[in-house]
Amino acid sequence: MIKILNKGEYALDDVLNRERFSLDISQVVSDIIFGVKMGGDPTLIDYCRKLDKAEVASLELTEEEIDAAVAEVPEDVMETLQEAADRIANYHKAQVKEGYTVEEDGIKLRQKVMPLKKVGIYIPGGTAAYPSTVLMNAIPAKIAGVEEIIMVTPPTAKGNIPLVTLAAAKIAGVDRVFRIGGAQAIAALAYGTKTVPKVDKIVGPGNAYVAEAKKQVFGHVGIDLIAGPSEVIVIADKDSDARIVAADLLCQSEHDRMATAVLITNDKDVAEKTAEELEVQLAALPRQEIAREALEANGKIIIVDTIDEAIDLANELAPEHLELFLDDAEEYADKVENAGAVFVGKNCPEALGDYFAGPNHTLPTSGTAMFASPLAVDDFMKSMSLTYYDSSALEKAKDKVALLAREEGLEGHALSILGRFE
């Protein structure tokens, strides 16, 4: 049964499960990365056998294999994936930015914005297929102008990739697909092998081993973020339908055993009815074992005095997902300062954002929404500055530059500019 807590019965740090890893996996991941660096493709194939229990003859899927798989996907699924892709693309196209130029007498300062050349996207596998994650990660990269998008994802025991995952890759414009999962996939993308190209940046969610691997290769390549357990906070008022609130909490809880779902409400009746509904709906949920363990370990219902107090608590927690399940949700939306994604109103469940609405579902977790943002086109671009001074402009600046250089004790800096006028 989910815990129901009143004000003062909980510590802020205990509301959301912020434990990134359930065990110390750092050394295990370090060994895997080293093994891939030294052993290359044969080591990757061996890890497929050992860790994914999969026999694979080749790491990369051919274009013919992908096309054959896509041909088996039902037409209605393809059409829906395409519509979701279009919505995601329309939202992200607005994020594209250009460079700029600032000019004054004899001075030209420019910012040049460029796409990354090669990006790797990690798509989880195992107990479920995640075509939505393919769309969310590949489409912004495509819009940014990335030249080559490399997708890695764990194979099934038969060495296959789910058909719908390949369909999403085709729609999103993924260039190459590899049957590799886990920390070994991150290592392959970061350092390259004979078959797997080295990329400039790695994006996409994964389990604790994937997150730890991204952490360890950061600096050698770029990464988007280090994801912790997925989480949702639902803020509900006294007029909320407990049946729907419970369903939205279960939507998050069925992800995995470390997921966190929290209801914050100003109504005791809604709190108690939601707890009852959770038990009813759990019984019919295919992934009830996972959802129940997540709810019992991490789920909470918190009763507060006012909705404003609920918003303040949410801002302190900075959740990955925040549902404003309120009649007057738009009045409260602008009061939210810290959340990865906000779902405004009773007609906007988190699942809508997961699959179809358009904003990205790769979001900051573990409180990082205090300072981090959802995956965006910017994540697949870089900028550099270009500075031009003519001789007159440099002469006007030389003494001031030299003054600051000498204040820092760097005489060579001062002489490098003054020497031009001797």
Give ∠ CA 344-349-354 in degrees, rounded to 5: 110
Which of the following is catalytic: 212, 320, 323, 350? 320
Residue 279 catalytic?
Answer: no
How many whole angstroms separate alpha carbon 311 and alpha carbon 336? 7
Which of the following is catalytic: 92, 255, 321, 361? 321
Residue 171: left if φ>0, alpha if ψ -120 to 50, beta else—which one? alpha
How many whole angstroms separate alpha carbon 317 and alpha carbon 15? 8
Give me the DSSP letters along 359-387. Answer: S------TTGGGT-----GGGGEEEEEEE
Place of tokens 């809604």: 270
224: closest CA among 25, 65, 398, 380? 380
Q: What's the order of all strands across the beta sheet hosting 381-389?
A: 100-104, 107-115, 381-389
Residue 320 catalytic?
Answer: yes
In total, the chain counts a number of residues equal to: 422
CB 162 within 8 A of CB 179: no
Place of tokens 């992200």: 92
User: Which residues have a catalytic role annotated?
Assistant: 320-321
